[in-house]
Homo-oligomer: A and B are copies of this chain.
Amino acid sequence: MKNIDVCLSPDLLHLHKLNNSIVVVTDIFRATSCMVTGFAYGVSSIIPVASVEECKKLQDMGYVAAAERDAQKVEGFDLDNSPFSYMDERLVGSKIAMTTTNGTLSISKAKPDAVKVVVGAFLNLGAIISYLQNQPYDVLVLCAGWKGRPNLEDTLFAGAVVEALKDEYFVSEDSAIMAMRVYNEAKSNMGAYLSNSSHIRRLQGLGIHKDINYCLQKDLYDIVPVLRGNELVLA
């Protein structure tokens, strides 16, 4: 039986052995929701990079570049961190370079040791589940959190994955059990459940209620972005 586990923060990733695991990186507000949306609208690849400098270099080489820090767009870049920015005909077939506070960092951390790294959001939840079921590997859902701290929305996504796979996978660790329980309590109204979360408050200050509602929708897109070498492409 395959195992499924949850890592609530990239700062806890050192506790997990990844040599037989697919890591599902999630950063619901908003990096992985943006990535999924971009692919759904025709982006051909996304290179996640850890630093703003690397992102700038790739922009100079011709990539469409997206840099976010502290939930805001960094000046001089092409795209912000709203998923609606990725619904743009001009991006069809494009190669994007992206750096974000938490999401791309988590991808970088998982990359060296994981069998595969895939990008998950509520927007492609069902596709992620089917993909995992058809793979022979254990699963670790890595919550990007906020600057090392666990957060509610990523934990909810992790719980949704565990809930969907709990009958086929061995759920042994408390983080996974906790995420699943939190999800089951929240699932009938995730927006209300998240209404006083720290990141919602952070984002509401930036006036992006529309982004929040969009990112909490399930199964809009039947796609799975997967890391191949340095770039994310469709599986």
Q: Which residues of A contact B (CB under 8 A)?
A: 8-9, 11-12, 14-15, 146-152, 155, 172-175, 177-178, 181-182, 185, 196-199
Q: Nearest Cβ distance between residue A94 and chain B, in whole angstroms?
A: 34
Contact A11 B8 (CB under 8 A): no
Q: Nearest Cβ distance between residue A106 and chain B, in whole angstroms?
A: 15
Instruction: List, in ascending order, chain B residues with CB within 8 A of A15's CB.
Output: 11, 147-149
In the assembled complex, 12 residue pairs joining A and B whose CB atoms fall closer than 8 Å, in A order, are A8-B8, A11-B12, A15-B149, A149-B174, A149-B175, A150-B150, A150-B178, A152-B178, A172-B198, A174-B199, A177-B197, A185-B185
Instruction: List, in ascending order, chain B residues with CB within 8 A of A149's CB.
Output: 12, 15, 173-175
- Copies of this chain, complex-wide, total 2
Chain B residue with the shortest CB-CB distance to A12: B11
Instruction: List, in ascending order, chain B residues with CB within 8 A of A181's CB.
Output: 182, 185
In angstroms, Cα B172 to Cα A175, docked, is 21
In angstroms, Cα B198 to Cα A87, docked, is 43
In angstroms, Cα B11 to Cα A148, docked, is 10
Contact A182 B173 (CB under 8 A): no
Chain B residue with the shortest CB-CB distance to A149: B15
Instruction: List, in ascending order, chain B residues with CB within 8 A of A197's CB.
Output: 174, 177
Contact A174 B151 (CB under 8 A): yes
Instruction: List, in ascending order, chain B residues with CB within 8 A of A175's CB.
Output: 149-150
Contact A177 B148 (CB under 8 A): no
Q: Nearest Cβ distance between residue A193 and chain B, in whole angstroms?
A: 8
Most chain B CB inside 10 Å of its own CB: which residue of A146, A174, A181: A174
Instruction: List, in ascending order, chain B residues with CB within 8 A of A152's CB.
Output: 174, 177-178
Instruction: List, in ascending order, chain B residues with CB within 8 A of A174's CB.
Output: 146, 149-152, 155, 197-199
In angstroms, Cα B199 to Cα A15, docked, is 16
Instruction: List, in ascending order, chain B residues with CB within 8 A of A8's CB.
Output: 8, 150
Instruction: List, in ascending order, chain B residues with CB within 8 A of A151's CB.
Output: 174
Contact A196 B177 (CB under 8 A): yes
